[in-house]
Amino acid sequence: MANDCLIEVSGVNRIFSVPGGEFQALKNINVKIMRSTLTILKGRSGSGKTTLMNIIGALDHPTSGTVLIDGRAVGKMSDKARENLRRKDMGFVFQAVSLIPTMNAFQNVEFSMRLAGIKAGRERDKRVEECLKLVGLGNRARHMPAEMSGGEQQRVAIARAIAHRPKLILADEPTAELDSAMAAQVTKLFQEMTRKEGITVLMTTHDVGLMGAGDMIIELESGEQVHGGENL
Amino acid sequence: MHRIMLQKLWHKKWMNLCLLLGCILLIATVVSFPLYQTAAYDRMLQDEFRSYVAEEGRWPAMNSFSIVSKKERSGETISRMEGLMGKIYGDLGVTEKETIFYYTLSGANIHSALNRKDAENISLRLGSLSGLGEHVKMLSGEMYSETGMTEDGCIEVVMTQSAMVSMKLLVGETLVFNDLRDAEGKEIRLYVKGVFDAVSERDDYWQVKPEDLSSSVLMDRELFRSMFTGEKAGKYTVSCRYYALFDYEDIKATQVEHLIQATDDLTERGAYSGTADKPAYRSILGEYAKKQERIRVTLMILQIPVLIMLGAFLFMISGQMYEMERNEISVIKSRGSSGAQIFRLYLYQCAVLTLAGGALGIPLGTVFSRILGAARSFLEFDSLKGLTLTFTREVWIYAAAAMLITLFIMTLPAMKHSRVTIVKLKQQKALKRKSWWEKIFLDFILLGISLYGYYSFHKNGSVLGESVLQGDSLDPLLYISSSLFIVGLGLLFLRLQPYLVQLIYMAGKRFWRPASYASFMENTKNGRKQQFIMLFLIITISLGMYHATVARTILQNSYNNAAYMQGADIMVQEVWYAVVDTGSFTGEYAEPDYSKYAAMDFAENYARVRIETSAYVQTKENGRQDVTVMGIHTRDFGNVTWVDYDLNGRHYYEYLNDLAVNPTGVLVSDNFRTKLGYQVGDKLTYALENTGTPVKGPGRSTEGKIVGFFSYWPGYAPFVTETNPDGTVTTRENMLVVTHYNTMKQTFGVKPYQVWIDLKESADSSDAYAWFQNSGIRLTKYVDKAAELKKTMEDPLLQGTNGVLTMGFLVTILLCAVGYLIYWIMSIRSREMMFGVLRACGMHKGELIHMLLNEQIFSGVFSVIAGIGIGKLASGMFVPILQRAYAATDQVLPMNLVVNASDMVRLYSVIAGVMFLCLVVLIILIFKLNVTKALKLGEE
């Protein structure tokens, strides 16, 4: 069932020019990620996790190899098409606090829907509230990011990432700055997303305790795929 | 410590460069002030001297003394005076030009040795005039010889031609004094050796005029001294006059104080005060000193806002820098570094900047002062004129003061920060509040003060004008009021700006695209951070507008006034010769040939204008009213003069037509109606004052019918302001009767008139000057409108005002640009990560630029617009009051607010240029922003 596969990464290499030579961040990566699954990308820092995330998120180009998202080759898309892809079909959650500091929780979530071109109205407001409730912050919609804890902010970021109903959520070390209880809670949230919303989630982490939550685990070491690509 | 400091300097190099720029500008601005002033004062002083020479035709830089030595055996007085002449130049600190000794024996009778019948008993004065030989040419005979005596013991003397004629002496004749004997009792004999004439009568040597020597013969000075003064000579009475002439061209403004002091010591207080005449240069210097003080204070007041803004800029940048280093400072602090240590580090750092600023700022100051000297109007320059700059002691004092202040301002924020530990810092960061000025309603307070000032100055406008005429400088309170008004309104705008942005947001809530939405949010929540730079921008622009209007209004009004008072392009009056009828003056003159003026190829038109200032009108109540009577040829006069429609509310030619059709008509000034109650159609009897000379023929008074009233007439000042000896000012009304030239001629006889000339388009005043030089026409009056206007424009007060205001604007707009860029660069840097997030979420660069553009509009463009509005308002309110401070005593035209479109275009283009430049820099910055790199900021 080819349609079950949302992301297909084949033969991806990424080489950076660094002072005094080249650095190969990714070596021949081949990954298939199925729809509505939570995939965990694991590895030490510097193993190439973020580089792979950026390439899948159409933020960076591979030096060689192809990435197919929903059957379309990202490398062949125009800049505009890639931006549209990010706006409509993807949601991002970053390690550090990534909320827009001048907007409150509600506005932050709403903003991703604005970007996705969803018109203002009752529908949109309802969806924002729904997403905030989903992350357990229904009662804090009017709070500014500075008035919330790190975990709360990260949950708002997750709400923002799912609000416009993307096909894929890319979460880069979303739990790095959270305590373990909070990290578990966030990971559980991602798990729920895949079930309730049918969203595909790809998250990176080096927290071994969270691995159990993943439907699939990919492990990178020095840019090489040492484990994974198959369902557990 | 030094390595740390240098590292710190390098690490924050852009910030430090901005600080350095601020230092340089501040020091340069401060230094340019005394530099320019000294140069301008030197020029002004020389102008004063030159105009004295031009008007009086005399050498002003001279001290003269006279004593009489009566039968003094020792001749001590004379020796003392000669001693004084030897050291006077040193005492005054000036360069000797010419020292003249003039000695005469009291008149004595002589007889000719020839025993001529026609020259039996002549009374003459024997004298000596030092340096005579170098200034005369001999008409006959020779100059006295080296010894001054003939071989047979006669004193050789020379005389002027008029002396020879009036005393009927002959060259080669020997004269014997009747009762004057020499020291040994022998008779004194004179030998007439020659007749001389001055090489040039204009030579300043002729303090004793050749025509004053018509009963004198002159002998050698040394011989005179040995024969009639000194030890042996105890029986002569010698009158002595001493003239000490010095070069005024060498006198610098800085010497004036000493020169005044030394002169007063000499002529009023010292041992010689009884013998000294009051020197002409003393009043020139006195006038100059008064004027100089007025200019100095006025220009200083005008500079204050710029200096404050420079200080604020430095304070802001250094504060900003400490802000960036806050964490660093508090970490060091928490690890045990003492506050004093941290403070010392910053002090050294600032000292390096200040010294560098001084090294670059002082030379830049010379450039600034040249720009000051070249400003013709606001943002308008003449080619750089040769301003001779001298580094006086004052300049160095100013420079040192500027550097100290710079250092103080820059280290001030460090004092605050060196006390903050990391704990306090965290506490501070948690608090977000309204700006302090919003809480104390500073904007309303400032507006209140300034409006009170406006109101009271408005009410007491005439008092203000009067104090200015009495020599006061610009009232600082007035200028401060206008500045506070601008600051107050600027703050008020800042208070309202968020609501304004909110309003725009609400108005289009449904239509805003994500980028606009984000920028609205940014402005609503973060707008307060930019208040300082916005205020800076608003003040710069509104002060710029205000100053442009001030400069233009003052200049234009002075120019219009000068142009109006001059009447015509060129005004001349010939030397007229009186008709002398058998020895008595009849009051009639021989009219010079008028037709020769037709040959003036440079003139478009010309007209004769007769002006009698000593005239009166027999008023209705049988009183006398002093008036001026002007006689014109209506057609010719209309061709050479002009009065704007607005001034009289009626076309100028209508007046002339009314007069032309009525041979007995007169036009009179408006005060005949307002003061004396005359109406159109009334008869008016006017006459010339009795000047003590009988007028033959025509009657002395005549009657005219009033055909019109005017408020303004070419060259007519409705009011004359005079300064009394005690310094108070009185205003006198001037009344003018304009009549036909022919009527005046028939009534009052032929008397001198002026010729008013209208230049051709193609000609200028130099053509006119050349023509008159070659024509051989002797003139007693030559007024060149262009020269007068030039003089007005070059008035140091006007010129300096324009210079200071222009410089101020350029400096502040430069600071604005730098400050604005710093703010925005910092703002973008601090949001780099957020931009990365937005990019990741699918916003493209165009949208990010759009977002930043919006923010620019909310802060920059809004501030510019507010600045323009506030500037316009302030100009409209304060310029009419402020310009009174510049009104000259001869300001007669109503003063208008002048806004020149080209001034505004220049102002706007400077602002637009700066804004554009900032935008370009910002856009380049955004394009260089790397998204993935930005995202990584969040990783480690």
- List chain A residues with CB under 8 Å of B927: none
Burial of residue B600 (number of CB atoms within 10 Å: 0-12, 13-18, 19+): buried
| pLDDT at position B606 | 92
Which residue of B518, B840, B844 is in closest CB contact with A59?
Answer: B840
Let me know: does A174 contact A203? Beta carbons within 8 Å: yes
Q: Which domain holds residue B423?
A: 1-61+260-431
| pLDDT at position B385 | 61
What's the half-sphere exposure (Cβ side, CA atoms, 13 Å) at B687? 14
- List chain A residues with CB under 8 Å of B521: 100, 102-103, 107
Which residue of A54, A92, A107 is in closest CB contact with B521?
Answer: A107
**Where is pLDDT greater, at B731 or B655?**
B655
Say how many CB pairs under 8 Å bridge A and B: 79
Give the pLDDT confidence of B491-520 residue by residue, as tens digits: 999 888 888 888 988 888 777 888 888 888
Let me know: does B27 contact B361? Beta carbons within 8 Å: yes
User: Which pTM does this prediction carry?
Assistant: 0.76
The count of structural domains within chain B is 4
Looking at the domain assignment, is residue A232 inside a domain? no
Residues B124 and B140 occupy one common structural domain: yes
What value does the mean pLDDT of chain B take? 81
Do B842 and A98 lie within an 8 Å CB cutoff?
no
Which range of A2-6, A82-86, B837-841 scores highest in mean pLDDT? It is A82-86
Neighbours of B120 (CB within 10 A): 11
- List chain B residues with CB under 8 Å of A111: 514, 517-518, 841
Name the residue among A151, A117, A113, A116 with its Cα closest to residue A129: A113
- What is the distance in angstroms between the Cα of A116 and the nearest Cα belonging to chain B? 8
CA-CA distances (angstroms) from residue A27 to A218, B440, B646, B932? Answer: 14, 64, 88, 20
Last residue of a domain, one of B744, B777, B810: B777
- What is the distance in angstroms between the Cα of B464 and the nearest Cα belonging to chain A? 53
Q: Which domain holds residue A55?
A: 2-227
Looking at the domain assignment, is residue A174 inside a domain? yes
Q: In 3-state terms, chain B is what percent helix, strand and coil (to 5)?
A: 55, 20, 25
Let me know: does B21 contact B361? Beta carbons within 8 Å: no
DSSP one-letter code for B883: G
| Chain A contact residues (CB < 8 Å to B) | 50, 54, 57, 59-60, 79-80, 83-88, 90, 92, 94-98, 100-103, 107, 111-112, 114-116, 120, 144, 172-173
Residues B275 and B419 occupy one common structural domain: yes
Which residue of B840, B844, B936 is in closest CB contact with A57?
Answer: B840
CA A220 to mean position of chain CA atoms: 17
A6-10, A48-52, B576-580: the lowest-pLDDT one: B576-580
CA B589 to mean position of chain CA atoms: 41
Looking at the domain assignment, is residue B325 inside a domain? yes
Kindly identify which residue of chain A lies nearest to residue B511, measuring between CA atoms: A120
Residues B839 and B936 occupy one common structural domain: yes
CA A189 to mean position of chain CA atoms: 13
| pLDDT at position B361 | 92
Let me know: does B33 contact B201? Beta carbons within 8 Å: no
The pair of three-digit structure tokens given for residue B553, joined into one six-digit string: 């209004």
| pLDDT at position B694 | 46
Residues B627 and B764 occupy one common structural domain: yes
Looking at the domain assignment, is residue B504 inside a domain? yes
Helix axes B393-417, B339-374, angle to 10 degrees: 140
Three-class secondary structure of residue B700 per DSSP: coil
- List chain B residues with CB under 8 Å of A116: 842
CB contact set of B726 (below 8 Å; sequence gap of 6+): none
The pair of three-digit structure tokens given for residue B587, joined into one six-digit string: 């009051």
Three-class secondary structure of residue B586 per DSSP: strand
- List chain A residues with CB under 8 Å of B839: 59
Tell whether the model's pLDDT for residue B696 goes beyond 50.
Answer: no
Average pLDDT for residues B781-795, to the nearest whole number? Answer: 82
Residues B666 and B525 occupy one common structural domain: no
| pLDDT at position A204 | 87
Backbone angles phi, psi at A84, to 5 degrees: -60, -40
CB contact set of B776 (below 8 Å; sequence gap of 6+): none
- List chain A residues with CB under 8 Å of B848: none
Residues B508 and B598 occupy one common structural domain: no
B828, B834, B838, B844: CA torsion to nearest 10: 20
| pLDDT at position B690 | 64
Tell whether the model's pLDDT for residue B762 goes beyond 90.
Answer: no
| pLDDT at position B115 | 66
Which residue of B518, B935, B939 is in closest CB contact with A100?
Answer: B518
Neighbours of B673 (CB within 10 A): 15
Neighbours of A120 (CB within 10 A): 14
Which residue of A84, A96, A102 is in closest CB contact with B938?
Answer: A96
Tell whether the model's pLDDT for residue B938 goes beyond 70.
Answer: no
Disruptive mutation site among A16, A87, A98 for chain B (greatest number of B CBs within 10 Å): A98
Looking at the domain assignment, is residue B439 inside a domain? no
Average pLDDT for residues A130-134, to the nearest whole number? Answer: 88
| pLDDT at position B935 | 54
Do A112 and B841 lie within an 8 Å CB cutoff?
yes
Looking at the domain assignment, is residue B450 inside a domain? no
The pair of three-digit structure tokens given for residue B250, joined into one six-digit string: 């060498």
Residues B755 and B652 occupy one common structural domain: yes
Q: Distance between CA B197 and CA B652 in Å, rounded?
A: 54
| pLDDT at position A126 | 92
Last residue of a domain, one of B777, B800, B825: B777
pLDDT cut 70: percent of chain B above it: 89
- What is the distance in angstroms between the Cα of B7 and the nearest Cα belonging to chain A? 24
Confidence of residue B466 (pLDDT cuts 50, 70, 90): low
Confidence of residue B430 (pLDDT cuts 50, 70, 90): very low
Tell whether the model's pLDDT for residue A2 goes beyond 50.
Answer: no
Confidence of residue B433 (pLDDT cuts 50, 70, 90): low
Looking at the domain assignment, is residue B522 inside a domain? yes
Amino acid A92 reads: F
Tell whether the model's pLDDT for residue B329 goes beyond 90.
Answer: no
- List chain B residues with CB under 8 Å of A85: 842
Alpha helices for B508-621 (secondary structure H):
514-526, 531-566
Give the pLDDT confidence of B713-750 residue by residue, as tens digits: 998 888 877 767 676 777 788 899 999 999 888 888 88
Residues B582 and B634 occupy one common structural domain: yes
**Where is pLDDT greater, at B124 or B863?**
B863
Residues B544 and B628 occupy one common structural domain: no
Which run of H or E residues covers position B22? helix B13-56
**Where is pLDDT greater, at B324 or A83?**
A83
Give the pLDDT confidence of B269-327 residue by residue, as tens digits: 877 777 888 888 888 888 888 888 888 888 888 888 888 888 888 887 777 777 777 77
| pLDDT at position B473 | 62
Name the residue among B610, B13, B766, B23 with its Cα closest to residue B362: B23
Helices H, strands E: what count in chain A?
6, 10
Give the pLDDT confidence of B537-558 residue by residue, as tens digits: 898 888 888 888 888 888 888 8
| Chain B contact residues (CB < 8 Å to A) | 510, 513-514, 517-518, 521-522, 524-526, 833-834, 837-844, 931-932, 935-939
pLDDT cut 90: percent of chain B above it: 9
| pLDDT at position B873 | 92
Confidence of residue B888 (pLDDT cuts 50, 70, 90): low
Q: Distance between CA B37 and CA B373 in Å, rounded?
A: 9
Residues B39 and B68 occupy one common structural domain: no
Which residue of B510, B522, B842 is in closest CB contact with A120?
Answer: B510
Neighbours of B766 (CB within 10 A): 12
Residues B915 and B766 occupy one common structural domain: no
Give the pLDDT confidence of A196-219 residue by residue, as tens digits: 888 899 988 878 788 888 888 888
Name the residue among B174, B152, B165, B157 with its Cα closest to residue B224: B157
Confidence of residue B866 (pLDDT cuts 50, 70, 90): very high
Q: Distance between CA A146 and CA B195 in Å, rounded?
A: 108
Tell whether the model's pLDDT for residue B576 goes beyond 80.
Answer: yes
Average pLDDT for residues B580-590, to the nearest whole number? Answer: 67
Looking at the domain assignment, is residue B363 inside a domain? yes
Do B936 and A50 lie within an 8 Å CB cutoff?
yes
Do A87 and B842 lie within an 8 Å CB cutoff?
yes
Residues B908 and B880 occupy one common structural domain: yes
Name the residue among B522, B495, B508 with its Cα closest to residue B856: B522
- List chain A residues with CB under 8 Å of B837: 92, 94, 98, 100
Q: Distance between CA A39 and CA A201 in Å, rounded?
A: 6
Kindly identify which residue of chain A lies nearest to residue B523, measuring between CA atoms: A102
Q: Distance between CA B314 and CA B26 in Å, rounded?
A: 9
Kindly identify which residue of chain B lies nearest to residue A204, measuring between CA atoms: B939
Confidence of residue B374 (pLDDT cuts 50, 70, 90): confident
| pLDDT at position A200 | 92
**Where is pLDDT greater, at B11 or B667?**
B667
The count of structural domains within chain A is 1
Looking at the domain assignment, is residue B920 inside a domain? yes
Kindly identify which residue of chain A lies nearest to residue B847, measuring between CA atoms: A115
Q: Distance between CA B925 and CA B850 in Å, rounded?
A: 14
Last residue of a domain, one of B191, B219, B247: B247
Which run of H or E residues covers position B363? helix B339-374
B163-177, B210-224, B817-831: the lowest-pLDDT one: B817-831
- List chain A residues with CB under 8 Å of B931: 59
Disruptive mutation site among B509, B837, B937 for chain A (greatest number of A CBs within 10 Å): B837
- List chain A residues with CB under 8 Å of B517: 111, 114
CA-CA distances (angstroms) from residue B416 to A32, B326, B354, B412? Answer: 59, 11, 20, 7
Confidence of residue B904 (pLDDT cuts 50, 70, 90): confident
Let me know: does B737 contact B615? Beta carbons within 8 Å: yes
Tell whether the model's pLDDT for residue B697 goes beyond 50.
Answer: no
Confidence of residue B890 (pLDDT cuts 50, 70, 90): low
Do A59 and B837 lie within an 8 Å CB cutoff?
no
CATH number of the CATH domain containing A16: 3.40.50.300
Give the pLDDT confidence of B820-842 residue by residue, as tens digits: 887 777 777 777 777 877 877 77
- List chain B residues with CB under 8 Å of A50: 936, 939
CA-CA distances (angstroms) from residue B884 to B289, B473, B897? Answer: 21, 11, 12
Looking at the domain assignment, is residue B769 inside a domain? yes
Let me know: does B797 contact B889? Beta carbons within 8 Å: no
Let me know: does B900 contact B556? Beta carbons within 8 Å: yes
